[in-house]
Structure 1
Amino acid sequence: MKIGYVRVSTVEQNEGRQLKKMNEVKVDKIYIEKISAKDIKGRTQLITMLNEVIEGDTIYVHDFSRLARSTKDLLYITEILAQKKVALISFKENIDTSTATGKLMLTMIGAINEFERTNLLERQKEGISLAKELGKYKGRKPIPFPDNWENIYIKWKNKEIPASFAMTNLNLKKSTFYKLAKEWERK
Structure 2
Amino acid sequence: MKIYIYAKQNDDIKGLRSILRYLYEVGEVLIISESTRSFNEYQHLKKRLKQGDILIVWGIFSLALSQSFVASELKFFIDNKILLFIYDLAPTYKNGANAAVNTAVLQTLYALAKNKKISLSALDKNYSVGRNKLTFPQNWSELYEKWQNKEITSKEFISASGLKKATFYNILCEYENLLQEQVKYQKLA
TM-score interval, smaller chain: 0.3 to 0.5
Of structures 1 and 2, the one with the larger relative CO (CA 8 A, separation 6+) is 2
TM-score normalised to the size of structure 1? 0.45
Structure number, greater radius of gyration: 1
TM-score (norm 2): 0.45
